[in-house]
């Protein structure tokens, strides 16, 4: 396999609100020659739907906003890299990992329904 053989480590939610989730992870160290990590593919989907939203980030944290309150999301992350072993070089995604997280109830809303 060319590229990272494992996903970013310690992928977690560091904070949440009713409409956002802040995610953090650790950098992937690539041990293969001719491969450069160019960023991280971050995807989220509302649990039970097929509507996948994605973004490419080049930092180790990201806040996803405009989410629905009290909703569970599946979040995945993979390191994106360029393989210079082929001509022309190809952009590829490495091994991904997933977590589930739920946004909070809106401020002032009762937790009992």
The CATH number given to whatever domain includes residue 75 is 2.60.40.10
17 inside domain: yes
Query: How does 17-36 read in b/e, with b if 16+ C-beta sit within 10 Å?
Result: eeeebbbebeebebeeeebe
pLDDT per residue as tens digits for the range 30-75: 656 556 788 888 999 998 888 889 888 999 999 999 999 999 999 9
Q: What is the pLDDT of residue 113?
A: 54
Q: What is the pLDDT of residue 88?
A: 73
Query: Rounded mean pLDDT of the chain?
Result: 84
For residues 9 and 25, is the Cβ–Cβ distance under 8 A? yes
pLDDT per residue as tens digits for the range 72-100: 999 999 888 877 777 776 666 777 889 99
109 inside domain: no
6 inside domain: no
85 inside domain: yes
**Number of domain units in the chain:** 1
112 inside domain: no
Whole-model pTM over 0.75? yes
């Amino acid at each position: 396999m060319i590229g990272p053989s494992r996903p970013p480590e310690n992928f977690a939610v560091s904070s949440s609100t009713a409409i956002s989730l802040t995610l953090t992870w650790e950098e992937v160290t690539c041990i293969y020659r001719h491969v450069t990590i160019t960023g991280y593919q971050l995807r989220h989907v509302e649990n039970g739907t097929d509507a996948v939203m994605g973004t490419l980030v080049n930092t180790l944290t990201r806040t996803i906003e405009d989410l629905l309150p009290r909703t569970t999301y599946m979040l995945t992350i993979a390191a994106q890299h360029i393989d210079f072993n082929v001509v022309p070089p190809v952009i590829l995604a490495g091994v991904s990992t997933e977590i589930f997280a739920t946004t909070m109830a809106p401020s002032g809303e009762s937790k009992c329904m």
